[in-house]
Structure 1
Amino acid sequence: MDIRTSDSAVSAGSGAVDLTVVVPAYNEERRLRPTLDAIRDHLRANPERWGTWELIVVDDGSSDRTAAVAADAAADEPRIQVVTGGGNRGKGHALRQGVLASHGRRVLLTDADLATPIEELELLDRQLSEQSEQSEQSEQSEQSEQSEQSERSWRSWRSERSGGESGGGGAAIGSRAHPDASIEVRQLAVREWLGRLGNQLIQRVAVAGIADTQCGFKLLDGEQARAAFADSRLDGWGIDVEILRFFRRSGWPVTEVPVRWAHQPGSKVRPLDYGRVLLELVRLRTRGGRTRTVVSAGARTNLAVAGLFLLASFLLYKNLWADLDGAYLADAGSDQNQWQWFFAVTADNVVHLRNPLFTTVQNFPDGVNLMANTVMLGLSVPLAPVTLFLGPSVTWAVVLTFGLAATAYAWYWLFARQLVDNRRAAALGGALAAFAPPMISHANAHPNFLVLFMIPVIIDRALRLCDPENDKVVRDGLLLGLFATYQIFLGEEPLLLAVMGTLLFALSYAWVRRDLARAVVRPLLRGVGLALLVCLPLVAFPLGWQFFGPQSYHSVLHGDNAGNSPLAFVEYAGRSLFGDDATADPLAMNRTEQNAFYGWPLIALAVGIVVWLWRLAVVRALAFTAAGAALLSLGQRIRIPGTDVVLPGPWRILAHQPLFESVIESRVAMICAPALGALIALAVARLPAGIGSVSGSVFGAGTGAGTGTESADRRRHRTVALLAVGAALLPIVPTPIPVRERLEIPRFFTAKMYSGYVAKGESVVPVPLPSPGDAEALHWQAETGFGFSVPGGYFNGPYGDDRTGIYGAPPRHTSNLLRDVRYNGQVPEIGANWRAQARADLAFWRAGVLVLVPQPNDGALYATVEKLLERPGKRVGGVWIWDLPPRKG
């Protein structure tokens, strides 16, 4: 540690400093000097009030000119010191350096952004004085005599210097969470919400009763502060909690004081830093080196795993979180607009007590069967308050980020409970099951295939029913029914795929272990029967509405070439670390359907694990499950790469069966993700026991346990094996999902100008109509409160007399015409027949106004509509409109 100070600075241990201000700084080149000047000017302005003082700036290994800025300030003011300590170690390390270098009878900790103004020091100082006075009065009541020297306490010293005002011990925290605090500039609503959630978790785990542990404006008794920081261990954000815990254990008072606070641009604190605080707290040690029992060892591991999964998920979506209102996932197509519309329309239906299974605000006037679409009522309903108060873009980010992390944790929990005892191995398997390339492909646009946290829970309950000694079959069967019911309201197709994967595993395991299969048949059938008795009555009406209600359909057409190419399994996905779009795109339907792409190293590793652990029945069952799912995912016709040979695929048996006829067969390969995760977990869990104990292992033959040389060989083999696992997984590590800038909503909609042109029972007709290829109109609706309906849209609905499922509304002549002009830019010849057809279509849509927003080929679209309606448009609110006369009748 390097401390630079002027000759006039107070020497250590002199005891002549009334107040020390400690400012930790990391890459604060722009904000630091104004902060230092403000603190200096405030303390200089009232020397009688603040007495002698020092200001310590701790540079935490900044890569910019932070240290130079601090040094310049020190050159201008002798009482400013600069402490440097090498590389970037974290805020906790910086605070520890600053406090241990301090000499003040009181120590103020403040962040470099000065979000709490230095003037608020007065409030904290007064509170500390009151605490000290109360403490001293208590001590005096217990002691009859004190010497004159012992009576010279903090309070009496402060009284001499500031006209009778008392000084104090303990800690006073500047709190922005206090009911009387004044928030002058607020953070984004989602940051506040996540911050409050994080602080509540911290309170439950470590420091109860303190609402704002992380606010960076604290005044501490100097001797107590130096004792607490000398005892501290954490280098990160968690040090605030560690210090407050020390004060609490020592019996020193800690009080929150309401202060003024303003969010500062460029803040180093992020909402997920509260998660990092929790992870740091589980590593706290006592002086004797024993682990402090904040939570149990298993709970600490679970918390750490959950935190890592949440951090990984947040990093995956960091570009989305950086601009929730303006960021759009680059590969989402129209799906992000569709999903945010689903969340918003569900919240709107809930708050207005409408039927959550149907709406006419899209595809007007026919409407949309919401149960027949993937609205995820299991999340969109409970998250309706988030959608209503923070907006559908926040709900979208929350569902993706927390849903992915929850799914990874659920797989980890299942593997740790049912498969392996090694929790690190279970965590690695869970990470692969949730973050595998097919899952990340759907992370671009399909939360129903990403948020699968109920699937492991359902599998666990089914496995419990397979325990011959289970005496709680009734309970487990009832819970299985409730869990399956909830999953139906999260996603039916993922549940169907999970059932397929579970059947593949169960059949293969039963073939290998016929003795066990015979023993579990009765309790399993009994439990499943009870589950059906619970589930079917609960879902009867919603499923009846889905399959037989208004706008229902019986299947969805995906074409005959929706299967995977065999090459897809050995290539890398576009969002994998070693992948690229040029290689992946030709092998998939689109970037949200890269349903294989596990990469050849992982496939090779999986084969090696199966050979190595073939003696285990579970390994053979997992191998059959993965291989069977991969084969089914190739579709009805399997083209052999590099040849003209086309073979019939086993999917032909299922392709036209009820339920399966709507499944995109390439998605069956997603079953391989948890199967491969389980194989990895099994393999890694056995490495600490010595891989050499397995004769003929692909990781290296061993000689068994015994001598020290053998032990060293095993360690080398284990290291090589772990490196092989890492080498297989590294290429498919997902990269952050890219975003693009979202299109701005025209003022015509944000200012609700449409209300003057649309009567009750009429619709706004965008030009061209919204469709699966361009669903921006759904964004307008979701963000402006569904004040208008639109024809067309992006949803699944019926087409024709046989009610075959299609994407979007059944096309009409005018909608086709406008779509063609939008994409080819050519204005067609418009005659009487086209005008008559337009009048008929507009009447069907009950059009109140046509709206043309700025877009490619909008000139050709304007000319086409002008010819169809035989009159020019009017410019209103940044768009062209054609107001239509009220409908008769």
Structure 2
Amino acid sequence: MTREETPRPQPRPRAALALVAYLILAVLLFASAWRAPRTLAIGGGVDTPQFMWFFRWPSFALLHGHNPLVSNYIDFPAGMNLMWNASMPLVGVVLAPIELWLGPVFSFNLVTTVALALSAWTAYLAILRYVRSQVGAAIGGLVYGFSPFMLAHSLGHPHVTLAFIPPLFLIVLDEMLLRQTRPFWQSGLILGVLAGVQLVIGEELLATSVIVAALGLIILIGLYPNAVRARLAHASRALAIAAGVFAVLAAVPLAVQFAGPQRVPGILQEQNIFVSDLLNFIVPTRMQALAPAFLTRISERFTGDIAEWTAYVGIPLIVLLAFLVVRQWARPIVRFAALLGVMLALLSLGPTLHFNGRISHIPSFVLGLAFPLLAAFLPARVMLYTLVGGWLALIKAPVLYNILPGRLMLFAYLLVGLLLAIFIDTYLSRSVGRRRLLVAGVVLVALLPLLPHWPYDHTDVTVPAYFTSGDVTQIPSGSVALVAPFSHGDEATAMLWEAASGMRFRMPEGYGFIPGPAQDPPMTATQSIMVMVQRGEPSPEVTDSLRQQILGDLRSLSVQSVIVGPMANEDRMVSFFTDVLQTSPTQTDGVYVWPSLNP
């Protein structure tokens, strides 16, 4: 294996300028929410208020002597193990001053915006190790940080869009495994720290990063066994240091996750739903600007939901990348990036092939049977065995079987950005005149299908004034309040209200993974009726026997207050609790409150 020529170090002002440019683009993308960032949230859906709660809890917990990795302020009394719930504890700690000053909605918008810009920037820095073209690296970073993957998950999944560490992993692993210009202990120390930080930002990204690194190493060995063997001693020592550092940093979080309360066994979500449909690579969703209705009607048939339809690359960009790979196959970085990118795309297909929203019974690894046909150009057996092994790991391996296959496309976009930067560096930067215009036009045509739909989706999440005013102090601090709309797998608004109140109270409700078959707290008669009401379904008449049963539920849950906020079927919910509690509520600051209950 020959090393790629190392580009000259770039001036720091250029890197700073790139970061500023990415931040401006991110703010412009989400401008619809930034018009009123304390009441309008980027994206929407049930995950958004959940993450707003996640961002508020760690600082509150640390300031009040609670464990930031578990909480019974939701799903009281048993609570929730937050290490199983993508809670991003480090982000919550860093956000503490902003949370206290500007509130949870602003904090969520800030994280969602910075996530794209920072991810694009670290990708730009990583790509600069392989190209001389600043423009190429900047566009490559843009492809990663503003990819269809990022656009889709910005609807409410900051734990996977705050993806600035994977490109840093690439930089460190490149140094550790290939270049080896620094002492092994430095690379190992940095890798261990990065892994520890990623664990408490987003554990899923750490797990997928490990999988991608393992796949990449196997492919590298298949391509250049002698070169890898020559570097093995240095790399092994560095990895040992990294493992030791990570073990120290990760000991407490992992102990809480796997030995703490409310740990969640088994498979968390359907394995064959959130995957890449074969058509998704060439069919856009409504998240793209160039998405005619006849194509979005196809994408809307894909399994899962729009936040997980993330594989769109587009025919023009696929053709450009194929041209580059064929013409530059002799270059090690092109060969490696292409093979790893194809591997990740295949694994993102999930357990079985999906086509046009239909789930087949054909294992997705069968597409790897094409590798032997290309044995003259690539390590066919290594590719096939690696694909089958990765496929089995994602289906059968404990913990790893909880990874959603479609989310591997994040790393594929990093490789797409790298290959596109190499194309620009090879053909655009070294062209002049009409040829330069032609190449620039080709790049533009390849990128146009990835343009995001604008304005980006946003949701009004105005918090009732009650929760941010002094009136909320009528709820005893740390007491249990039952809040409507009831929070469960379909609804999490009350979690935002609790966060906005400064965690004034606990709730016997919440949305997240807990032991059991659903993302819901154990349902009582009270909670079941609340869900019926807020969904507009018929609910039983409040008879004396039902009233006594509900009062018993409230006693068993230690409920001292009931709050009904703005919601669908609000009048029905108020009438329901008025009948049960046989007293009228206090109406104040946009909510109905029954305080100081003794059910």
Does TM, normalized by the shorter one, top 0.5? yes
> Would the alpha carbon gap of residues 642 and 670 (structure 1) be closer, same or farther in structure 2, given more than 3 Å must change?
closer
Larger displacement relative to structure 2 (848-857 or 475-484):
848-857
* Letter matched to residue 281 of structure 2: F
Aligned residue for 2:88?
376
Per the normalisation by structure 2, the TM-score is 0.87
Aligned residue for 2:345?
630
Q: What is the DSSP-based 3-state SS (H/G/I as helix, E as strand, rest coil) of the residue aligned with 2:11?
A: helix
* Letter matched to residue 354 of structure 1: H
Aligned residue for 1:776?
493
- Counterpart mapping for 1:586-601 below 5 A: 586-601=301-316
- From 375, 388, 401, the equivalent of 2:100 is 388
- From 383, 405, 426, the equivalent of 1:665 is 405
Aligned residue for 1:726?
444
Aligned residue for 2:71?
359
Q: What is the DSSP-based 3-state SS (H/G/I as helix, E as strand, rest coil) of the residue aligned with 2:178?
A: coil
* Letter matched to residue 364 of structure 2: G
Q: 1 CA distance for matches of 2:57 and 2:140?
A: 37
- Assess if the C-alpha contact under 8 Å between 1:640 and 1:646 holds in 2: no
- Counterpart mapping for 1:645-664 below 5 A: 646-650=361-365, 651-664=391-404
- Assess if the C-alpha contact under 8 Å between 2:188 and 2:241 holds in 1: yes
Aligned-pair CA distance for 1:659: 1.7
Aligned-pair CA distance for 1:775: 1.4
Aligned-pair CA distance for 1:425: 1.0
- Assess if the C-alpha contact under 8 Å between 2:76 and 2:507 holds in 1: yes
Q: 2 CA distance for matches of 1:737 and 1:337?
A: 21
Q: What is the DSSP-based 3-state SS (H/G/I as helix, E as strand, rest coil) of the residue aligned with 1:794?
A: coil
Alignment of 1:516 with 2:227, yes or no, is yes
- From 184, 201, 205, the equivalent of 1:490 is 201
> Would the alpha carbon gap of residues 381 and 415 (structure 1) be closer, same or farther in structure 2, given more than 3 Å must change?
same
Q: 1 CA distance for matches of 2:581 and 2:119?
A: 56
Q: 2 CA distance for matches of 1:591 and 1:334?
A: 14
Aligned sequence identity (%): 26
Aligned residue for 2:4?
none
- Counterpart mapping for 1:459-608 below 5 A: 459-467=170-178, 470=181, 472-559=183-270, 560-579=272-291, 582-608=297-323
> Would the alpha carbon gap of residues 885 and 450 (structure 1) be closer, same or farther in structure 2, given more than 3 Å must change?
closer
> Would the alpha carbon gap of residues 854 and 311 (structure 1) be closer, same or farther in structure 2, given more than 3 Å must change?
closer
- From 426, 434, 437, the equivalent of 1:686 is 426
Aligned-pair CA distance for 1:355: 2.3
- Assess if the C-alpha contact under 8 Å between 2:176 and 2:187 holds in 1: yes
Aligned residue for 2:30?
317
- Counterpart mapping for 1:425-436 below 5 A: 425-436=136-147
Q: 2 CA distance for matches of 1:654 and 1:739?
A: 32
- Assess if the C-alpha contact under 8 Å between 2:76 and 2:508 holds in 1: yes
Aligned residue for 2:375?
none
Aligned-pair CA distance for 1:832: 5.5
* Letter matched to residue 490 of structure 1: I
Q: What is the DSSP-based 3-state SS (H/G/I as helix, E as strand, rest coil) of the residue aligned with 1:824?
A: coil
Q: 1 CA distance for matches of 2:355 and 2:305?
A: 21
Where does the alignment leave 5 or more consecutive residues of structure 1 unmatched?
A: 1-295, 692-713
Please give the per-residue CA displacement for 1:266-317, whole angstroms capped at 9, x wherever unaligned: xxxxxxxxxxxxxxxxxxxxxxxxxxxxxx9722322322221111111112
Aligned-pair CA distance for 1:824: 2.8
Q: 2 CA distance for matches of 1:412 and 1:656?
A: 35
Q: What is the DSSP-based 3-state SS (H/G/I as helix, E as strand, rest coil) of the residue aligned with 1:807?
A: coil
> Would the alpha carbon gap of residues 645 and 451 (structure 1) be closer, same or farther in structure 2, given more than 3 Å must change?
closer
* Letter matched to residue 236 of structure 2: L
Aligned residue for 2:41?
328
Q: What is the DSSP-based 3-state SS (H/G/I as helix, E as strand, rest coil) of the residue aligned with 1:511?
A: helix
Aligned residue for 2:354?
639
Q: What is the DSSP-based 3-state SS (H/G/I as helix, E as strand, rest coil) of the residue aligned with 2:336?
A: helix
Q: 2 CA distance for matches of 1:569 and 1:873?
A: 57
- From 409, 434, 437, the equivalent of 1:716 is 434
Aligned residue for 2:376?
none
Count of residues in correspondence between the two structures: 561
Q: 2 CA distance for matches of 1:675 and 1:482?
A: 24
Please give the per-residue CA displacement for 1:835-885, whole angstroms capped at 9, x wherever unaligned: 344233222321112222232222333444445x26253242143344574
- RMSD of aligned Cα (Å): 2.6
Tell me which of the two structures has the higher relative contact order, counting C-alpha pairs closer than 8 angstroms and 6 or more residues apart.
2
Aligned-pair CA distance for 1:819: 0.6
Q: What is the DSSP-based 3-state SS (H/G/I as helix, E as strand, rest coil) of the residue aligned with 1:592?
A: helix
Please give the per-residue CA displacement for 1:456-492, whole angstroms capped at 9, x wherever unaligned: 1122111111136545012211221111111111111
Q: What is the DSSP-based 3-state SS (H/G/I as helix, E as strand, rest coil) of the residue aligned with 1:687?
A: helix
- Assess if the C-alpha contact under 8 Å between 1:634 and 1:665 holds in 2: yes
* Letter matched to residue 393 of structure 1: V
Alignment of 1:798 with 2:515, yes or no, is yes
- Assess if the C-alpha contact under 8 Å between 1:429 and 1:677 holds in 2: yes
- Counterpart mapping for 1:205-224 below 5 A: none
Q: 2 CA distance for matches of 1:746 and 1:378?
A: 28
- Counterpart mapping for 1:805-884 below 5 A: 806-831=518-543, 834-867=546-579, 869=580, 871-877=582-588, 878-882=590-594
Aligned residue for 2:112?
400
Aligned-pair CA distance for 1:618: 2.0
Aligned-pair CA distance for 1:364: 1.7
Aligned-pair CA distance for 1:403: 2.7
Aligned residue for 1:458?
169
Whichever of the two has the greater Rg, that structure is 1
- Could you list the runs of 4 or more consecutive aligned residues of structure 1 that deviate by over 6 angstroms after TM superposition? none
- Assess if the C-alpha contact under 8 Å between 2:532 and 2:539 holds in 1: no
* Letter matched to residue 570 of structure 1: I
> Would the alpha carbon gap of residues 382 and 851 (structure 1) be closer, same or farther in structure 2, given more than 3 Å must change?
closer
- Assess if the C-alpha contact under 8 Å between 2:155 and 2:457 holds in 1: no
- Assess if the C-alpha contact under 8 Å between 1:465 and 1:473 holds in 2: yes
* Letter matched to residue 433 of structure 1: Y
Aligned-pair CA distance for 1:726: 0.9
Q: 1 CA distance for matches of 2:182 and 2:539?
A: 74
Aligned-pair CA distance for 1:643: 8.1
Aligned-pair CA distance for 1:742: 2.3
> Would the alpha carbon gap of residues 683 and 429 (structure 1) be closer, same or farther in structure 2, given more than 3 Å must change?
same
Q: 1 CA distance for matches of 2:317 and 2:302?
A: 18
Aligned residue for 2:372?
none
* Letter matched to residue 550 of structure 1: P
- Assess if the C-alpha contact under 8 Å between 1:764 and 1:790 holds in 2: yes
Q: What is the DSSP-based 3-state SS (H/G/I as helix, E as strand, rest coil) of the residue aligned with 1:769?
A: coil
Aligned residue for 2:13?
300
Aligned-pair CA distance for 1:640: 4.2
Q: What is the DSSP-based 3-state SS (H/G/I as helix, E as strand, rest coil) of the residue aligned with 2:245?
A: helix
Q: What is the DSSP-based 3-state SS (H/G/I as helix, E as strand, rest coil) of the residue aligned with 2:561?
A: strand
> Would the alpha carbon gap of residues 794 and 682 (structure 1) be closer, same or farther in structure 2, given more than 3 Å must change?
same
Q: 2 CA distance for matches of 1:742 and 1:315?
A: 18
Please give the per-residue CA displacement for 1:490-547, whole angstroms capped at 9, x wherever unaligned: 1111122222222222222321222212112222122111100111022111111012
Q: 2 CA distance for matches of 1:485 and 1:643?
A: 39
- Assess if the C-alpha contact under 8 Å between 2:508 and 2:557 holds in 1: yes
- Assess if the C-alpha contact under 8 Å between 1:825 and 1:860 holds in 2: no
Q: 2 CA distance for matches of 1:549 and 1:860?
A: 40
Aligned-pair CA distance for 1:822: 1.6
Q: 1 CA distance for matches of 2:251 and 2:493?
A: 34
* Letter matched to residue 845 of structure 1: L
> Would the alpha carbon gap of residues 688 and 824 (structure 1) be closer, same or farther in structure 2, given more than 3 Å must change?
closer
Alignment of 1:611 with 2:326, yes or no, is yes
